[in-house]
Amino acid sequence: MICLTNVTRRFGTLTAVDQLNLEVKAGTIFGLVGPDGAGKTTTIRMITGIMSLTSGKISLLGSENIESVKDQIGYVPQKFSLYGDLTVMENIRVIGALYGADNKRVAELGTEILAFTNLLPFKDRLADNLSGGMKQKLALAAGLMHRPKIFFLDEPTTGVDPVSRREFWQMLYRLNKEGTTIFVSTPYMDEAELCTRVAFMSQGRIVASDTPKNLKAAYPFRLLELTAESKSVKSALAKCPIVEVNAFGDHYHLVTEHSPETVPKVEAALQAAGIEGYLLRDIPPTLEDVFVHLAGEGGAACTP
């Protein structure tokens, strides 16, 4: 459904996207994850035909002529771009008219889609008076007015409260069940877990791409969780065979090599430092652990 071959985009001397190769199959929820400046937005804009390529080739819905398939794609940009001085329904009517639907069809589709996004009770409210989450739902509704086969969303839930984020993703799942392919960029690792397939982007390149399950299974380190009230944990473990120590309140994630000597050495170091009442256990890696590792390899930092 989407195929990128050696796609590059330069802005002067800056290479935003560098020889990118990517394939997205129909019916998936594809997540593009990476830090700010990784090239996610530029990639989406090139795929949707908003931005030209410096070099390479993009095939979308079987065509290399993006203009010929634009009526089959939907797009929600990072920034809310609808009309704040129009009501919810007025915005929907404008978008419907732009796609060439007659007034009757716009009214039917608008009512149906606003009901789907739970915005129907707010159809007469000005867009400027909506909350952040409701604005994103309106953008989603507007993007669905022409029933696209594939839907692109560029960090759609950034700055949105957790409840609205959950509702937004429930809508994406419903759309996907109905046959819409979803392509979404996100800085949130819990959202990446919800995708069928995930690609991590760093410095304009895809560092890894697979299912969330397979990405976690390929994590090369052993992960230990240490619970201790002491504030001197990091110094106590300074000479232990640990790759990295990350603090989460009174919990610490110890990134270690796979060695039977690790746990005894960690326990000996804690006891030598007088740290008592600790709890040490193996835990499975999350996508956040995977992407922090990948970001380190790519020379960038990932947004948790």
Distance of CA 274 to CAs 244, 266, 268, Å? 21, 13, 10
The residues that bridge with 5 in the sheet, in sequence order, are: 57
User: For 107-144, how does the pLDDT look when each residue is reduced to its tens digit (9 = 90+)?
Assistant: 888 899 899 888 999 999 999 999 988 998 999 898 88
Q: Are residues 102 and 130 in the same domain?
A: yes
Q: Are residues 232 and 200 in the same domain?
A: no
Q: Are residues 272 and 167 in the same domain?
A: no
pLDDT in the model for residue 30: 97
Q: Are residues 144 and 233 in the same domain?
A: no
Domain extent, residue 273, equals 220-284
pLDDT in the model for residue 301: 36
Distance between CA 244 and CA 259 in Å, rounded? 15
Measuring CA to CA, which residue among 104, 100, 50 is closest to residue 78?
50
Q: Are residues 69 and 204 in the same domain?
A: yes
- The total of structural domains in the chain comes to 2
Q: Are residues 270 and 149 in the same domain?
A: no
Domain CATH for 153: 3.40.50.300
pLDDT in the model for residue 24: 96
Q: Are residues 96 and 130 in the same domain?
A: yes
Domain CATH for 247: 3.30.70.980
Which DSSP letter does residue 63 get?
A: B
In a domain, 296, yes or no: no
In a domain, 294, yes or no: no
Q: Are residues 44 and 84 in the same domain?
A: yes
Q: Are residues 186 and 243 in the same domain?
A: no
Residue range 141-166: average pLDDT?
A: 88
Residue range 241-262: average pLDDT?
A: 88
In a domain, 295, yes or no: no
Distance between CA 11 and CA 181 in Å, rounded? 30
pTM: 0.85
Q: Are residues 279 and 132 in the same domain?
A: no
Distance between CA 187 and CA 159 in Å, rounded? 11
pLDDT in the model for residue 179: 93
Tokens of residue 163, six digits: 């409840």
User: For 213-232, how does the pLDDT look when each residue is reduced to its tens digit (9 = 90+)?
Assistant: 999 999 999 999 999 888 88
Q: Are residues 203 and 231 in the same domain?
A: no
Q: Are residues 188 and 174 in the same domain?
A: yes
User: For 60-86, how does the pLDDT look when each residue is reduced to its tens digit (9 = 90+)?
Assistant: 999 999 999 998 999 999 888 899 999
**Is 154 or 248 the better-scoring residue by pLDDT?**
154
